[in-house]
């Protein structure tokens, strides 16, 4: 290798033959270089054809989607973010070609090349993960079938348990049966969480939106949860007073998760406050507890997958899945989720979604 002068290496040829797709944009966003793989991922058979097509026309060739299946917002495209001044951007994008109806998935990573601090070029690398996605989708089908089986088995275990609850007279035994029923409920919601996780990762997560009366939904959820929450009062304030368009079971999951966490991570105080508000075109929901709170440094991490803070000795049962799924559900509704917390004093978890999300 010693006698190879880097000046003599044909870098253009290397870029052309790379396994990843590469495009180079000038500072106006025009694509001035593309290799074959990039042309193919973008739905073209030749590089020449790709290069002579305007960006607007290229975009029309396919429908982009994000990881949870929503229409892709082109403003988030990594290359665009670099043009707007970022130093690095990456995203996972699904491309469905309008004509062929085939689907490709790619991780796109973009970086700027600057001269004297000014943007000159944008380099976009497209790593095709269509095959991996197909495997994810097969796993999703497997997960869906397995969890369907598990759910029906659990339904009959639950039914037998409830039947026994009616027959058993002894208080101790009855107590065991109530506990059995609680564990079955937990297992069922755990299976549903795993199924959602697998769908999010396979890009097949979908919402089932319907007209939803949030005020009634909250009353139902709270009266259910209050039955098993003996030493805390769950207080509901405020009204929405309007139906919204949302996925009932998924929004319920988020609410139940917030309230269950408020119970889990607040061992001493006697109440949980829930506030419902309509702010313009948004519905805002917040759940406040007066428990252990979350350190500032942990607050943006708790929505990550499998994240469990141990700085607050909060290691309780669970997997660190709940808030991750809640975030995905709220984002899929076009909303926002967050937390305000003072360590040692308590936390307020909130979400807001558009009324017609």
Residues that bind ligand ADP (CB under 6 A): 257, 261-262, 265, 289, 291-292, 294, 302, 307-309, 314, 318-324, 347
Between the CA of residue 254 and those of 21, 221, 248, 263, 350, what are the distances in Å?
39, 11, 10, 14, 10
Q: Which residues of 274-287 are buried (b: 16+ CB within 10 A; e: fewer)?
A: bebebeeebbbbbb
Helix or strand (DSSP H, E) at 320? none
Nearer to ligand ADP, 127 or 301 (CB): 301
Q: Return the closest-CA partner of residue 184 out of 209, 162, 163.
A: 162
CA 185, CA 192: separation in Å to the nearest integer?
Answer: 11
Q: Return the closest-CA partner of residue 283 out of 328, 332, 340, 245.
A: 245
Least Å distance between CB 271 and ligand ADP?
13
Nearer to ligand ADP, 225 or 321 (CB): 321
Beta partners for residue 62, in sequence order: 97
From first CA to last CA, the distance across the chain in angstroms is 59
Q: Residue ranges of the alpha helices (H) in 63-110? A: 78-83
Least Å distance between CB 335 and ligand ADP?
17
Reduce the DSSP state of residue 36 to 3 states and report it.
Answer: helix
**Phi, psi values for residue 223, rounded to 5°:** -70, -35
CA 351, CA 96: separation in Å to the nearest integer?
Answer: 31
Least Å distance between CB 144 and ligand ADP?
23
Enter the DSSP assignment of 203: T
CA 200, CA 92: separation in Å to the nearest integer?
Answer: 12
Contacts of 14 (CB under 8 A, 6+ apart): none
CA 126, CA 94: separation in Å to the nearest integer?
Answer: 12
């Amino acid at each position: 290798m010693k006698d190879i002068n880097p000046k003599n290496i044909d870098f253009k040829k290397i870029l052309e033959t790379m396994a990843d797709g590469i495009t180079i944009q000038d500072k106006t966003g025009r694509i001035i270089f593309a290799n074959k793989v990039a042309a193919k991922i973008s739905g073209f058979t030749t590089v020449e054809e790709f290069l002579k097509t305007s960006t607007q026309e290229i975009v029309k060739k396919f429908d982009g989607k994000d990881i949870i299946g929503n229409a892709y917002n082109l403003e988030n495209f990594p290359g665009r973010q670099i043009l707007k001044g970022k130093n690095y951007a990456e995203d996972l994008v699904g491309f469905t070609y309008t004509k062929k109806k085939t689907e490709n998935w790619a991780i796109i990573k973009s970086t700027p090349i600057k001269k004297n601090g000014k943007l000159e070029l944008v380099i976009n690398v497209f790593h095709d993960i269509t095959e991996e996605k197909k495997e994810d989708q097969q796993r999703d089908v497997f997960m869906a079938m397995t969890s369907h089986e598990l759910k029906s088995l659990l339904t009959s275990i639950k039914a037998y348990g409830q039947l026994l609850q009616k027959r058993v007279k002894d208080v101790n035994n009855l107590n065991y049966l109530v506990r059995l029923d609680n564990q079955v409920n937990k297992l069922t919601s755990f299976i549903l969480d795993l199924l959602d996780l697998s769908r999010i990762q396979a890009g097949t997560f979908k919402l089932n939106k319907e007209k939803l009366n949030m005020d009634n939904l909250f009353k139902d959820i709270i009266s259910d949860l209050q039955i098993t929450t003996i030493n805390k009062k769950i207080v509901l304030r405020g009204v929405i007073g309007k139906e919204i368009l949302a996925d009932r079971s998924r929004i319920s999951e988020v609410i139940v998760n917030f309230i269950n966490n408020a119970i889990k991570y607040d061992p001493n105080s006697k109440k949980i406050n829930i506030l419902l508000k309509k702010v313009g075109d948004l519905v805002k929901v917040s759940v406040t507890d007066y428990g252990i709170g979350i350190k500032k440094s942990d607050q943006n991490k708790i929505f990550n997958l499998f994240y469990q803070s141990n700085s607050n000795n909060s290691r309780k049962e669970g997997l660190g899945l709940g808030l991750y799924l809640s975030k995905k559900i709220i984002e899929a509704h076009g909303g926002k989720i967050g937390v305000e917390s003072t360590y040692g004093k308590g936390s307020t978890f909130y979400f807001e979604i558009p009324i017609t999300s």
